[in-house]
Structures are given as structure tokens and as C-alpha cells.
Amino acid sequence: MIAGLVLSFLLAGGEAPLPLMNDCAGCHEDQVAQFSTGRHGRAMAARSSELLQQSCASCHSGAAKHLEDPSSDSIERIPGAPACAKCHSSAESTIQLGTPGHVRNKVSCLDCHAGGHETSERESLLRSDSREFCSGCHRPEAARFELPFAHRDESREPMDCMNCHSIHGIGRVSRLGALDKNGACVECHGELAGPYVFEHPPRQVEGCGSCHDVHGSPNPRQLRRHSVALLCAECHGDLPRSHDATSARYRNCTGCHSAIHGSNRDARLFDR
């Protein structure tokens, strides 16, 4: 009957109207019910009942043709990013700039987020904790959380990735924003943020990651080298003659240069 109405409408020279949720419920009653009671459906209903009725066709392209030919080939069964972007345009645009690696590797919205017919009470309809699904692609970073010195929460569990990174690349905590001098590190380590009269150049240029492995390290303070002297020597190989590197005294750089993040008193970083 529905197909006949659509055909009559087309023969009359008009365009087929998009089917409403009630039309789809004739064959997909369970899916419509799941959507209506889920977070997506509730959000649409709160905006307008008309929007809720149009929701199926707004995500599944080809819905009008599907009324004529109810086969799986006549409709987009799994909506792609363009369907999500109809409502989440800001997330779609910022992910292009902030996390282009996700775009290049064709990470889709539904790889991380539950679809409209699925249930998830997690924030942003995530399929699991972000650390769990991020580790599927970012295995080296995930492995570093198992090292002796790593970023862990109060229960000694690895910190959630989204504490530092914005998966969609929004704002300054996107792909590399966690490492720069004004990145996510200063939200917990604000006492080291400065600004200082005399800055330590590596932190200004490369950020915290120039000295610290931000995910985890076998070394105390998550340093990139097991010895502070070796770490300093990567930039300060031209020691003055007064510094005898064979002496333990001169291998303890921070014994004198204690203001390694920056100083307001001394250009040689002797004192904060």
C-alpha cells in the first residue's frame, strides 16, 4: 500500500516524500522502539516530535527508495560520518584539523560511539572506556602505561586518554596539544607552568615531552633517560672547562640548576 502511494505520487510529477518513523516501524518495529527510548531518540524528541519522526530517513539515506524496494541494497544500513555531521557538525569539522590521523585511517564515528539503536550510558555514547578502544590502534602508548612510572589515577589505574586528549581535536588538547607549553600538562602541574623571566628553551619549543615521556617511563618522573645528566647532555654537550664530567658533582646537574622548568631570578636556572 505504501509503495503504491509513493508510485502514484511519482507519476503525478512530484518527489517522493521521505518516510517517517511510523512507516519504518511497519518492518522494523524493534529498531524503532530501541531508538525512540534510547539517548538519541530522547534527545530528538526533546527538540521536537517532528524531528523524531524524520529521524530514520535523516540517518539512513535511500529511505524513500527503500519503501519501493525493501531490500538491504536499497538503503544505507550503517550510516557514515556525513549522517552524524547533520547534527554534530562541529565534531566533524574539528576532527579534520585536530586529529587528521583518524580521518586518514578511516576511523568512523561508529567505531567509537554506539549507534542510534544501541544502548550506552557512557558519556557521549562511547562503546567502552576511551582507554580501552584507543589502545586498539595506539598500542605503543597503551603499553607505556604498564611501565613503573606512568600517569595513573588515584586507584593506580592508567589515566583515561580523554583526560588529556580531545578525540575530536577540539581546542588545545588535541593531537599534540597535551605536550606543548600551554597544553594539558599544566592543568595538573600548574605550579610549573610559568611564565618565567628565564625560560628553559626545550619546554618553550617542544613542550613537556622533550624531557618527559608523558604516557609512561621506566625512569622516575617519567624522564626519557635513566640519568638526568644524560638527558641534559643531549642539549648541553659543550660543558665549560670548569665542569669535570668525571666528577659525580658535575653529573648531578639539578644539584645546582634546580629551576629546570624556568626561573624568575637566574638565567642559568640556579634558582626559581
Q: Regarding predicted confidence, which is higher, 27 or 81?
A: 27
Among the candidates 13, 42, 77, a domain finishes at 77
pLDDT of 176 above 50: no
pTM of the complete model: 0.69
The mean pLDDT of the chain is 79
Give the whole-angstrom CA distance, residue 98 versus residue 191.
Answer: 27
Helices (H), ranges, the chain: 2-11, 21-24, 29-37, 39-47, 49-53, 55-59, 63-68, 81-85, 89-98, 100-104, 109-112, 130-134, 139-144, 185-188, 201-205, 228-233, 248-251
pLDDT digit string (tens) for 56-112? 888 888 888 888 888 778 788 888 778 888 888 777 667 766 677 777 888 888 888
Under the banding of pLDDT at 50, 70 and 90, the label for residue 136 is confident
Q: Tell me whether residue 145 is in a domain.
A: no
Mean pLDDT of 120-138: 79
Among the candidates 54, 77, 100, a domain finishes at 77
pLDDT of residue 222: 93
140-154, 176-190, 232-246, range with the lowest pLDDT: 176-190
pLDDT of residue 264: 92
pLDDT of 158 above 90: no
Q: Tell me whether residue 61 is in a domain.
A: yes
pLDDT digit string (tens) for 199-210? 888 877 777 888
Q: Tell me whether residue 9 is in a domain.
A: yes
Q: Tell me whether residue 183 is in a domain.
A: no
Number of structural domains (the chain) is 2
Q: Regarding predicted confidence, which is higher, 152 or 120?
A: 152
CB 194 within 8 A of CB 262: yes
Q: Tell me whether residue 176 is in a domain.
A: no
pLDDT of 194 above 90: no
Would you state the cell numbers that stand for residue 255, as one nine-digit string? 644539584
Under the banding of pLDDT at 50, 70 and 90, the label for residue 169 is low
Range of the domain at 14: 2-77
Under the banding of pLDDT at 50, 70 and 90, the label for residue 15 is low
Amino acid at 215: H
Q: How much of the chain exceeds pLDDT 70, in percent?
A: 86
CB neighbourhood size of 96 (10 A): 12
Among the candidates 45, 77, 109, a domain finishes at 77
pLDDT digit string (tens) for 215-256? 999 999 999 999 888 899 888 888 888 888 788 888 888 888
Q: Tell me whether residue 272 is in a domain.
A: no
Q: Tell me whether residue 122 is in a domain.
A: no
pLDDT of residue 263: 92
Q: Tell me whether residue 117 is in a domain.
A: no
pLDDT of residue 223: 94
